[in-house]
Amino acid sequence: MTEALLFTTTQISTFDGTRLLTRASGFFFERDQRLYLITSGHVVFDEASGHHPDRIEFGVHRDRVDLTATVGISVPLYRDGKAAWHAASDTGGPIDVAAIPLERAVLAGTDAWASFRPEHLEPALDAIEVGTPLLVVGFPLGFHDTVHHLPVVRQAGIASSFGVRFQGQGYFLTDARTHRGTSGAPVVMRAAPRPGVEDPLPWRLLGVHAARMDVGSRDREHDESLGLNCAWYADVLMVLTRE
């Protein structure tokens, strides 16, 4: 049986009309019967690079037995000239996470996807220790199981004080090897088992991977990349999915 965690995440392709622009990662999140596709904000709009897609496509499995059977779904990013995704800012500025509302009708005929919910968020941020093992679930450089259409995972560790906004921003650092295409991937920690409770998705959603971190003063000939990344705290989803 394929782990439910792998069904939470899908590859996102961005388009300008019929022209493919980029590929990234995203995951499903449900709240009060509302369904969203979560990804990085710069996946759907990035002024600095001139990235302005007008729609996205993502894939969903038809069932959990024949993993080769998937359906592609196209979702517009604008409706009546207005952005169809939700964004947020805080005292540190824009938060690089976007929530795209999905009509359940677009998933008709598919029953092999899984979603995180508010109960998967970590309520006690100070209970997570630096160095805690994590997984980043996504599509680095678009790489994945192209036969069964499943993502891959990379191991990571918490590299900054969890619960503290690194450099005043709403993210924490992870120590992991990541690549383009991982933007929007969920960053998760194994949940502690609860006696008598069988959880089909036994993971804590801690963050949303956004980008690799580096220092501008690094000598690119003599110094290796830091190998650090920023992950936006997942509690921003409670703001992005608020009615």
pLDDT band at 2 (very low <50, low <70, confident <90, very high): confident
Confidence at residue 127, expressed as pLDDT on a 0 to 100 scale: 86
pLDDT reported for residue 224: 63
Handedness of CA 127, 131, 132, 135 (dihedral sign): positive
The pLDDT of residue 214 is above 80: no
Q: Is 197 helix (H, G, I), strand (E, B) or coil?
A: coil
Specify the residue for token string 């703001």.
Answer: 239
Question: 26-35, 100-109, 125-134, 219-228: which range is least confident on average?
Answer: 219-228
Residue 236 exposed, middle or buried by CB count within 10 Å (0-12, 13-18, 19+):
buried
- Output b/e per residue, 163-172; b: 16+ Cβ within 10 A: eeebeebbbb
Per-residue pLDDT of 80-138, as tens digits, reads 999 999 999 988 889 999 999 999 888 887 878 999 999 999 988 888 999 999 999 99
pTM reported for the whole predicted model: 0.94
CA-CA distance, 55 to 41, in Å (whole number)? 14
Do 209 and 184 contact (CB within 8 A), yes or no?
yes
Mean pLDDT, residues 50-65: 94
Nearest Cα to Cα of residue 208 among 39, 87, 8, 57: 39
How far, in Å, CA of 47 to CA of 221, rounded?
Answer: 30
Q: What is the largest CA-CA distance in the chain?
A: 55
pLDDT beyond 60 at 238 = yes
Beta bridge partners of 83: 78
Sign of the CA dihedral running 148, 76, 14, 176: negative
Considering the domain 4-240, what is its CATH architecture? Beta Barrel (2.40)
Give pLDDT, residue 240.
97
Q: Nearest-CA neighbor of 23 among 161, 162, 151?
A: 151
Pairing of strands 9-16, 55-61: antiparallel
The mean pLDDT of the chain is: 92
pLDDT of residue 8 exceeding 70: yes
- One-letter amino acid of 156: A
Number of separate helices (H) and strands (E) present in the chain: 2, 15
